[in-house]
A and B are shown apart, each in its own frame.
Chain A
Amino acid sequence: QVQLQESGPGLVKPSQTLSLTCTVSGGSISSGSYYWSWIRQPAGKGLEWIGRIYTSGSTNYNPSLKSRVTISVDTSKNQFSLKLSSVTAADTAVYYCARDPSGDLPLDWGQGTLVTVSS
């Protein structure tokens, strides 16, 4: 059973870059036909898809965030990462990483990590 765990700073200053890592356990990030996604959820609000990456390095991003988002994968560490630049208070949210079977939306989710943007 694959497990995903987000990690990273819980507090980021405005205008800085938010950086999160998702560690995958219970399976290799390189095996199988899976995409690896990031989704976020502001407190009391709905889900927002951020983007995803395939182990080949191919990426898809939410058009509204595309200019600020970079998702990368490190197969040697069985991890994938999210970088969101020029953050503002509107980027405060719980950030989830997830695994998507090829052709489908996220099936397996991490527990989520709260990132607050504040000075």
Chain B
Amino acid sequence: QSVLTQPPSASGTPGQRVTISCSGSSSNIGSNYVYWYQQLPGTAPKLLIYRNNQRPSGVPDRFSGSKSGTSASLAISGLRSEDEADYYCAAWDDSLSGPVVFGGGTKLTVL
């Protein structure tokens, strides 16, 4: 049981916009930054979004992050086949669960 809650799966067709949610609590998302990782099959995770909505160098602007209260979302616009991957949210946590917690991951399928 992950501290941060994500839907196990999401899907979309090429060109579509999809969003993945991440729900937490006041001790993590509610009071700290949210991070998003993309994990392609058989590879290490790659940082997509840091500090809620910032993109590291090299990450396309098709990927965007947002946060409101104790929830966060990752949006992918102009969906491409190569976006098919697992996506994880993460955050600092000020409770006994911390200091770092991950979501359970969302498997994105491009139909």
Contact = CB atoms under 8 A, between A and B. Distances in A.
A103 B95 CA distance: 17
Interface stretch (A16-24, A46-54, A69-77): A46-54
Contacts of B47: 105-107
A104 B50 contact: yes
Contacts of A49: 90, 99-102
Interface residues of A, number: 17
A48 B1 CA distance: 11
Contact of B44 (A60, A104, A105, A112): A112
Interface string A30-57: 0000000001000000111100000000
Contacts of A47: 37, 45, 88, 90, 102, 105
B46 A109 contact: yes
Contacts of A105: 35, 47, 50, 90-92, 100
Interface string B92-107: 1000111111111100
A111 B47 CA distance: 14
B105 to A, nearest CB: 5
A96 B103 CA distance: 17
Interface in B18-47: 33, 35, 37, 43-47
A106 B99 CA distance: 13
Most chain B CB within 10 A, of A47, A62, A104, is at A47
Contacts of A14: none
Contacts of B98: 63
A18 B59 CA distance: 35
Interface in B40-95: 43-47, 50-51, 56, 88, 90-92
